[in-house]
Structure 1
Amino acid sequence: MFGDESVDSALERIEQWQQSMAQRAEQAQTLAQRTSALTATARSRDDLVTVTVGPEGQLTQLHLDERTRRQSAAATARAIMEALQAAKDALVMKFEAATAETVGADSETGRMLNESLRRRLGMPLESSDEAR
């Protein structure tokens, strides 16, 4: 039914497929390890507020300079939100860099993961490179 060439060719394709799947699994594991520990820190323009966000964009640290006592609560709130957004922006850039270095930014997996993080953070879906 099959010539020796067809069987050999089929076995070779199966072996290549297995190697490809193993490589993808390794890349995904590397990406998961790298991104699970990502953090990003940013300061407000007036340097009165510093925030750090964790891998899902959650606020993990907030530092208010003592000088914030001399300004209105509304000004401090704006500075916190500004620093928080800057930290999230930095987190996305780090995540996208890790994605590009592991699974590839243009791969279906890379695009899906980058888009997923942007959605969770309430950010535009274009990549940081396009936004520049």
Structure 2
Amino acid sequence: MQAYAEELRATFARLQEEAPAVHEKARAVQITEKSRDGLISATVGPRGDLIRLDIDPRVYRRPDSRELADSITETVHRAAEKAQDRVIELFEPLIPAEQMKAHLDGDLGGVLDQMAAQMLGEK
């Protein structure tokens, strides 16, 4: 138990030291994705929030609003997924990827299960 407590202290100290810089990098994440037809470009931030949306005027050649909406939604979702992957990648030296993903997904049970497994030496 003493060894685990020391490990926790060391991990916490490392987090305190390195996390602010990693956090700043994560906050700066911007991912741009293009739609499959190349007519839509969506840029999202680290939380998947839409920062910029560009729509090529050629979309008006096919005036199908449902297709346009679906294409925008799909493009934004792919960009958001890649942004989340990038944030997880940035934090991986400090926080295990599965734990970070569970945290970003709002999966409190998953986070707690992973922490319990770590405390029991299972992960």
> Could you tell me the percent identity over the aligned residues?
25
Residue 43 of structure 2 aligns with an amino acid whose one-letter code is: T
Question: Which runs of no fewer than 5 residues in structure 2 stay unpaired?
Answer: 1-5, 108-123
* Partner residue in 2 for 1:117: 104
Question: Is the alpha carbon distance of 1:50 and 1:16 closer, same or farther for their aligned partners in structure 2, counting shifts above 3 Å?
Answer: closer
TM-score (norm 2): 0.70
Task: Give the structure with higher Rg (CA).
Answer: 1
CA-CA distance at 1:22 after TM superposition: 2.8
CA-CA distance at 1:117 after TM superposition: 2.0
Report the secondary structure of 1:41's partner residue.
strand
Q: 1:66 and 2:57 equivalent?
A: yes
Question: For residues 46 and 16 of structure 1, what CA distance do their matches in structure 2 show?
Answer: 51
Shifted more, 16-25 versus 87-96: the winner is 16-25
Question: Is the alpha carbon distance of 1:75 and 1:43 closer, same or farther for their aligned partners in structure 2, counting shifts above 3 Å?
Answer: same
TM-score (norm 1): 0.66
CA-CA distance at 1:104 after TM superposition: 3.5
Selected match of 2:74 from 74, 82, 96: 82
Question: Which runs of no fewer than 5 residues in structure 1 stay unpaired?
Answer: 1-14, 121-132
Selected match of 2:90 from 89, 92, 98: 98
Q: CA RMSD in A?
A: 2.6
Structure-to-structure mapping, 1:1-132, within 5 angstroms: 20-71=11-62, 72-100=64-92, 102-105=93-96, 111=99, 113-119=100-106
